[in-house]
C-alpha cells in the first residue's frame, strides 16, 4: 500500500478522512474550533471531489436532527461540532443512540460558557458522556484521522453513534505530519455504506421513533446498554481490520506504558498524552518508577483494562480537563476510582484538574507534581489555593 | 385537478383503525386525504405531538407508510436529512423510485418551537412538503396557548380571570411568514373543505422544492365543541372568513374559496367553549370581527395585485 506523507492540521486531516469515507450525507453547522472541518469538506463538495449531499444546517440542533433523518433513511452520515454546538445538540444525541443510528461526529473539544471561551478542554464531551455515544479521544493529528476512519467501521457494526474527539487548537489547528492512506484502501475498509440496519427507504412501512410506555421503555434502554457492552469486542475486531487494511496498530481501549512496575501511574485523555508520557519518562530518568496510561475510549468505560494496568500501583494520578463540580473532582477521576474499587489493594488517588479553557500545562508543573509526590485528593493545577479535597 | 370523493375513498389507504385520536379530532382527515391524493410513495416525518402519540404507541403503529418521529422542534430538519439521503442514495444508484418526504407537525411544533427548523429547511430548498395541522394551541400537553391561538381564546395558560380574559395577543400569521421564504407553493386550508384541501395537498406534493400547507384542524377537547360538529366548526371558520382558504403559487396569491354570504365571526365563536366568556362582551366580539375583516381585505387586495 502506498501512503502519502503530508502536513495537515487536525481539522484538515478529519476533512480528508471524510472525503475518503465518502459519506452519503453531511449535515453540519460551523463552530470554533471545528469550523475548518466543515469549510474544507464544503470545498471538496464544491470541487466535485466527493459527491456527498451537504446540508448546511441553520443550527447544530438541526444539523444533528438532519443526521438522524438521513441515517434512519439508511445513509452513511457524518457531522462535526464543538462546545456550545454539542450542548445545543444534547437532546438529539439521546435520540440518535436510542434509534441505534451509526452517525459519526468529530468533536473539536472546547470549553463551555460562561465565561465564553473558545479554547480546548473536555467539558463539552464530558457533558454528553451518558448520551449513549461511543467516545474516542485522539492523541495526535494522525490518531484523529485514523480514529475517524475506524469510527465509521465501528458505528456501522455496533449500530451506535460514535464521537471522535480531538482537542481544540492543540490538535484541530496544529500542523503535523500525516500518513494518508490511498482512497481505494479506505473504500475497501469501509465499503459503500452501513452493511445492515433499517431504512425508511426500503418500501416497508416501518415506524421509527414510537412512543414507548413503562411496559416497554425499559427493554429499549436495556438493549441500548447491551449494545454498548458489546462495543469493546467490536472495537477489537475493528482495529484488527484496520491493521489488515492499513498496516497501522491502534490501541482500542487504553494504551498503558511502563505500569507493570510503576509506583506512580499518570492517567490522561486526549492530546496531552504526549506531555504526560514524557513526564513519566523524565521521572524514570530521575529514578522514580512512573507509568503512563492513556484512556483512548471513554465510552464505554474501559474499566477492566484499566484495572489490569493499574493493579499494584501505589499512586494513581488522573490528569483531566473537565470538572463535575460535584466536589469529587473531574469525570475521568470519578470513573477511574470507581473502576479501581474492586481491586484487593486500592491505590492512593489524586485527581488533577488542569487546562480548563485552554490553559497550558507546563512540563515544570508535571515534574513538580511528581517530585513532590502526588498529594491525594483533588488538585486544580496552576490555580492558587487549589487543593480542595483532602485524601481520606 | 378534479377530485372525486367516491374515487378517493377507494384509493384511500388510511391510518389503520385503532389509533387513539379523540372522537371529533380533525387531523385524521388530513392524513387520509394526503394518502388519497399522493401519486408517489411517501415517507412521513412527524413532530412530537398528539398525532405522534396517538398513532405510534409501541408495539402498534397506525402508519401504512415509512414513518419517523425524532423530536418536537425538528421535524423540518429531520425531513431535510431524509431528503438529502434520498438524493444521495439515488445518485449512487442505490434507490430506484424515490419517495416524497412529508413532514407533519402541529402548531406548537411549527409556529413556535419548530419555526427555526422550518425556516432553515425552506431556505435550503429541500424537496419536501410540510403540513401544519393547526389546532391553535398545545393540545397534547393539555391545551396551552401557542402563537397560533387567537386573541380572546381560553387555554390553560391564557385562562379567563378577573384581570385577563383569555389570550391577550392576536395569532401569528405563519402562512405569510412561510410565503415570505419565496418557496414554490404555500397554502392555507381547512378540513371542512375537503376538495380544496385535497387539491392543495396534491399540488404541494407535486411541486419540486419545499411546499407548505397550513390546515385548520379543530381539536374537540381544546376548542370544546360537540364531537359530531367537527366539520361544522371548521366550516364556520372558513365561512366567517376567520380562516381564509388561499394559496401562493410561484409568489402569486389566489383566494381559493370566497364565501358567498359570509357569516359573522360570532357564529364560529358561539360553537366553542374556549370563547364562551367572550360572547357577552359585545366589544370583544366586535374587535375580533374587525380583525377578521381587516385580514380578509388585506388578503383580497394582495390577490388583486397578482391578477
H-helix segments, chain A:
10-21, 35-46, 60-72, 83-98, 123-126, 141-158, 183-190, 217-229, 231-246, 273-286, 303-310, 331-340, 363-372
In sequence order, what DSSP letters do the residues of A246-277 get, joined into one string?
Answer: H-----SSEEEES-TT-SEEEEEEGGGHHHHH
Closest CA to A240 of A153, A138, A164: A153
CB contact under 8 A, A216 and B84: no
CB contact under 8 A, B61 and A210: yes
Inside any domain, residue A273? yes
Same domain, A183 and A268: no
Asked if B100 is an interface residue toward chain A (Cβ–Cβ < 8 A), one would say no
Whether residue B213 has pLDDT greater than 80: yes
How far apart CA B146 and CA B50 sit, in angstroms, is 15
Whether residue B11 has pLDDT greater than 90: no
Q: Please report which helix (H) or strand (E) contains residue B282, including its range.
A: helix B282-306
Asked if B183 is an interface residue toward chain A (Cβ–Cβ < 8 A), one would say no
Asked if B45 is an interface residue toward chain A (Cβ–Cβ < 8 A), one would say yes
Inside any domain, residue A390? no
Asked if B141 is an interface residue toward chain A (Cβ–Cβ < 8 A), one would say no
Q: What is the dihedral of CA B87, B93, B97, B100, to 10 degrees?
A: -10
Whether residue B71 has pLDDT greater than 70: yes
How far apart CA B34 and CA B226 sit, in angstroms, is 26
Categorize the per-residue pLDDT at B170 as very low, low, confident or very high, splitting at 50, 70 and 90. very high
- What CATH number corresponds to the domain at position A320? 3.40.50.920
Structural domain boundaries, residue B137: 5-306
Half-sphere exposure for B304 (CA within 13 Å, toward CB)? 6
Same domain, A167 and A35: yes
Closest CA to B135 of B21, B45, B247, B38: B21
Whether residue B12 has pLDDT greater than 70: no
The three-state secondary structure class of A218 is helix
How far apart CA B171 and CA B243 sit, in angstroms, is 11
Average pLDDT score over chain B:
96
CB contact under 8 A, A69 and B124: no
Categorize the per-residue pLDDT at A229 as very low, low, confident or very high, splitting at 50, 70 and 90. very high
* A85-97 pLDDT, tens digit each: 999 999 999 999 9
Q: Kindly state the DSSP code that residue B264 receives in the 8-state scheme.
A: P
For residue B285, the model assigns a pLDDT of: 97
- Please check whether residue B129 is in contact with residue B205, taking contact to mean a CB–CB distance below 8 angstroms: yes
Query: Which residues of A, range 54-83, sit inside 8 Å of B by Cβ?
Result: 55-59, 61-63, 65-75, 77
Q: Kindly state the DSSP code that residue A389 receives in the 8-state scheme.
A: B
CB contact under 8 A, B91 and A57: no
Q: What is the mean pLDDT of residues A342-370?
A: 95
For residue B1, the model assigns a pLDDT of: 55
Q: Partners of A293 in the beta sheet?
A: A256, A267
Strands A297-299 and A134-137: antiparallel
How far apart CA B42 and CA A12 sit, in angstroms, is 39
Q: Partners of B131 in the beta sheet?
A: B104, B213
In sequence order, what DSSP letters do the residues of B189-228 get, joined into one string?
Answer: EETTSHHHHHHHHHHHHHSSS-EEEEEE---IIIII--GG
Q: What is the mean pLDDT of residues A40-49?
A: 98
Angstroms from B235 CA to nearest CA on chain A: 33
- What CATH number corresponds to the domain at position A231? 3.40.50.970
Number of domains observed in the structure of chain B: 1
* B252-307 pLDDT, tens digit each: 999 999 999 999 999 999 999 999 999 999 999 999 999 999 999 999 999 999 98
Same domain, A187 and A285: no
Whether residue A47 has pLDDT greater than 90: yes
- Picking from A19-33, B7-21, B228-242, which range would have the lowest pLDDT averaged per residue? B7-21
Number of domains observed in the structure of chain A: 2
Average pLDDT score over chain A:
96
Categorize the per-residue pLDDT at A387 as very low, low, confident or very high, splitting at 50, 70 and 90. low
- pTM beyond cutoff 0.90: yes
* Final residue of a structural domain among A246, A280, A312: A246
CB contact under 8 A, A72 and B68: yes
Q: Partners of A55 in the beta sheet?
A: A27
Which three-class secondary structure string do you get for A115-184? CCCCCCCCHHHHCCCCCCCEEEECCCHHHHHHHHHHHHHHHHHHCCCEEEEEECCCCCCCEEEEEECCHH
* A125-178 pLDDT, tens digit each: 999 999 999 999 999 999 999 999 999 999 999 999 999 999 999 999 999 999
Same domain, A330 and A278: yes
For residue B5, the model assigns a pLDDT of: 78
Residue A218: list chain B partners with CB under 8 A: none
Q: Partners of A78 in the beta sheet?
A: A26, A104
Q: What is the mean pLDDT of residues A323-332?
A: 97
For residue B148, the model assigns a pLDDT of: 98
Whether residue A390 has pLDDT greater than 60: no
In the numeric block, the cell 401504512 is attached to B64
CB contact under 8 A, B71 and A95: yes
For residue A240, the model assigns a pLDDT of: 98
Same domain, A199 and A344: no
* Final residue of a structural domain among A202, A224, A246: A246
Q: Which residue of A has its CA nearest to B100?
A: A201
- What CATH number corresponds to the domain at position B75? 3.40.50.970
Same domain, A38 and A187: yes
Asked if A212 is an interface residue toward chain B (Cβ–Cβ < 8 A), one would say yes
Q: Kindly state the DSSP code that residue B110 receives in the 8-state scheme.
A: I
Contacts of residue A218, Cβ cutoff 8 Å, sequence gap at least 6: none
For residue A385, the model assigns a pLDDT of: 63
Contacts by A377-384 with C-beta closer than 8 Å and gap 24+? Answer: A377/A350, A377/A351, A378/A327, A378/A328, A378/A329, A378/A333, A378/A350, A378/A351, A378/A353, A379/A350, A379/A351, A379/A352, A379/A353, A380/A353, A380/A354, A381/A319, A381/A352, A381/A353, A381/A354, A382/A354
For residue B6, the model assigns a pLDDT of: 80
Same domain, A190 and A320: no
* Final residue of a structural domain among A246, A280, A300: A246
Structural domain boundaries, residue A32: 4-246
- Please check whether residue B129 is in contact with residue B101, taking contact to mean a CB–CB distance below 8 angstroms: yes
Angstroms from B242 CA to nearest CA on chain A: 33
Q: What is the mean pLDDT of residues A251-270?
A: 98
Asked if A312 is an interface residue toward chain B (Cβ–Cβ < 8 A), one would say no
- Its ipTM equals 0.97
Mutate to test the interface with B, among A73, A97, A215, A216 (most CBs of B within 10 A): A73
Q: Kindly state the DSSP code that residue B229 receives in the 8-state scheme.
A: G
Contacts of residue B301, Cβ cutoff 8 Å, sequence gap at least 6: none
- Please check whether residue B84 is in contact with residue A53, taking contact to mean a CB–CB distance below 8 angstroms: yes
Same domain, A274 and A234: no
* B75-86 pLDDT, tens digit each: 999 999 999 999
Whether residue A392 has pLDDT greater than 80: no
Strands B245-249 and B211-216: unpaired
- The angle at the Cα of A82, spanning A76 to A84, to the nearest 5 degrees, equals 120
Query: Which residues of A, range 84-103, sit inside 8 Å of B by Cβ?
Result: 91-92, 95
- Please check whether residue A351 is in contact with residue A318, taking contact to mean a CB–CB distance below 8 angstroms: yes
Same domain, A347 and A265: yes
Inside any domain, residue A183? yes
In sequence order, what DSSP letters do the residues of B33-92 get, joined into one string?
Answer: HHHHH--S-EEEEE-SSHHHHHH-BTT----SS-EEE--SS-HHHHHHHHHHHHHHHHHT
For residue A388, the model assigns a pLDDT of: 58
Burial of residue A293, with CB atoms counted within 10 A of its CB: 0-12 exposed, 13-18 middle, 19 or more buried: buried
Q: Count of residues for chain A?
A: 392
Same domain, A68 and A217: yes
Q: Kindly state the DSSP code that residue B150 receives in the 8-state scheme.
A: P
Whether residue A386 has pLDDT greater than 80: no
Q: Give residue B7's Cα distance to chain centre.
A: 24
Whether residue B52 has pLDDT greater than 80: yes
Amino acid at each position: 500500500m502506498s501512503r502519502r506523507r503530508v502536513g495537515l492540521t487536525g481539522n484538515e486531516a478529519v476533512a480528508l478522512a471524510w472525503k475518503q469515507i465518502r459519506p452519503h450525507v453531511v449535515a453540519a453547522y460551523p463552530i470554533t474550533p471545528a469550523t475548518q472541518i466543515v469549510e474544507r469538506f464544503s470545498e471538496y463538495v464544491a470541487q466535485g471531489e466527493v459527491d456527498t449531499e451537504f446540508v448546511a444546517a441553520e443550527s447544530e440542533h438541526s444539523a444533528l436532527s438532519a443526521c438522524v433523518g438521513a441515517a434512519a433513511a439508511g445513509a452513511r452520515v457524518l457531522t462535526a461540532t464543538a462546545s456550545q454546538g454539542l450542548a445545543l445538540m444534547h437532546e438529539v444525541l439521546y435520540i440518535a443512540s436510542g434509534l441505534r443510528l451509526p452517525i459519526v461526529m468529530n468533536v473539536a473539544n472546547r470549553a463551555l460558557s460562561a465565561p465564553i471561551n473558545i479554547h480546548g478542554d473536555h467539558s463539552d464531551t464530558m457533558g454528553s458522556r451518558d448520551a449513549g455515544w461511543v467516545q474516542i479521544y485522539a492523541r495526535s493529528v494522525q490518531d484523529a484521522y485514523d480514529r475517524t476512519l475506524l469510527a465509521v467501521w465501528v458505528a456501522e457494526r455496533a449500530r451506535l453513534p460514535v464521537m471522535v474527539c480531538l482537542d481544540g487548537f492543540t490538535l484541530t489547528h496544529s500542523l503535523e505530519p500525516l500518513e494518508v492512506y490511498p482512497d481505494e484502501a479506505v473504500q475497501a475498509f469501509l465499503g459503500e455504506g452501513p452493511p445492515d440496519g433499517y431504512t425508511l427507504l426500503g418500501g416497508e412501512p416501518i415506524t421509527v421513533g414510537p412512543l414507548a410506555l413503562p411496559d416497554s421503555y425499559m427493554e429499549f434502554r436495556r438493549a441500548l446498554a447491551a449494545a454498548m457492552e458489546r462495543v469493546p469486542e467490536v472495537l477489537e475486531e475493528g482495529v484488527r481490520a484496520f491493521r489488515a487494511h492499513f498496516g497501522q496498530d491502534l490501541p482500542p481501549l487504553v494504551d498503558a506504558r511502563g505500569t507493570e512496575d510503576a509506583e506512580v501511574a499518570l492517567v490522561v485523555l486526549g492530546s496531552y498524552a504526549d506531555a504526560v508520557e514524557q513526564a513519566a519518562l523524565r521521572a524514570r530518568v530521575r529514578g522514580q518508577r512512573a507509568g503512563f496510561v492513556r484512556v483512548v475510549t471513554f465510552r464505554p468505560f474501559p474499566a477492566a483494562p484499566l484495572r489490569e494496568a493499574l493493579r499494584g500501583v501505589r499512586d494513581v494520578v488522573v490528569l483531566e480537563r473537565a470538572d463535575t463540580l460535584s466536589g469529587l473532582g473531574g469525570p475521568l477521576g470519578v470513573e477511574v476510582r470507581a473502576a479501581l474499587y474492586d481491586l484487593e489493594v486500592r491505590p492512593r488517588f489524586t485527581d488533577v484538574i488542569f487546562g480548563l479553557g485552554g490553559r497550558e500545562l507546563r512540563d515544570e508543573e508535571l515534574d513538580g507534581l511528581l517530585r513532590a509526590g502526588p498529594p491525594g485528593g483533588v488538585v486544580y493545577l496552576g490555580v492558587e489555593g487549589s487543593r480542595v479535597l483532602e485524601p481520606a | 385537478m378534479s377530485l372525486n370523493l367516491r374515487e378517493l375513498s377507494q384509493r384511500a389507504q388510511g391510518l389503520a383503525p385503532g389509533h387513539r385520536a379523540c372522537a371529533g379530532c380533525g387531523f385524521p382527515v388530513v392524513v387520509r386525504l394526503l394518502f388519497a391524493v399522493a401519486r408517489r410513495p411517501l415517507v412521513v416525518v412527524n413532530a412530537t405531538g398528539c398525532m405522534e402519540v396517538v398513532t405510534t404507541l409501541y408495539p402498534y403503529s397506525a402508519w401504512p407508510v415509512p414513518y419517523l418521529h425524532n423530536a418536537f422542534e425538528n421535524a423540518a430538519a429531520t425531513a431535510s436529512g431524509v431528503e438529502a439521503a434520498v438524493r444521495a442514495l439515488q445518485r449512487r444508484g442505490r434507490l430506484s423510485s424515490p419517495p416524497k418526504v412529508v413532514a407533519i407537525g402541529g402548531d406548537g411544533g411549527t409556529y413556535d418551537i419548530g419555526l427555526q427548523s422550518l425556516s432553515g429547511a425552506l431556505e435550503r430548498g429541500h424537496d419536501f412538503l410540510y403540513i401544519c395541522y393547526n389546532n391553535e394551541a398545545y393540545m397534547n400537553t393539555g391545551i396551552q396557548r401557542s402563537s397560533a391561538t387567537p386573541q380572546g381564546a381560553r387555554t390553560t395558560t391564557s385562562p379567563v380571570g378577573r384581570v385577563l380574559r383569555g389570550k391577550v395577543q392576536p395569532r401569528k400569521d405563519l402562512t405569510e411568514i412561510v410565503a415570505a421564504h419565496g418557496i414554490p407553493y404555500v397554502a392555507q386550508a381547512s378540513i371542512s373543505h375537503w376538495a380544496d384541501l385535497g387539491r392543495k395537498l396534491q399540488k404541494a406534493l407535486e411541486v419540486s422544492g419545499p411546499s407548505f400547507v397550513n390546515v385548520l384542524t379543530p381539536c374537540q377537547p381544546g376548542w370544546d365543541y360537540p364531537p359530531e360538529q367537527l366539520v361544522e366548526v371548521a366550516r364556520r371558520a372558513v365561512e366567517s372568513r376567520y380562516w381564509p382558504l388561499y394559496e401562493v403559487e410561484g409568489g402569486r396569491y389566489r383566494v381559493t374559496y370566497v364565501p358567498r354570504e359570509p357569516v359573522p365571526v360570532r357564529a364560529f365563536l358561539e360553537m366553542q367553549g374556549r370563547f364562551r366568556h367572550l360572547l357577552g362582551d359585545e366589544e370583544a366580539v366586535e374587535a375580533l370581527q374587525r380583525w377578521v375583516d381587516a385580514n380578509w381585505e388585506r388578503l383580497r387586495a394582495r390577490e388583486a395585485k397578482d391578477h
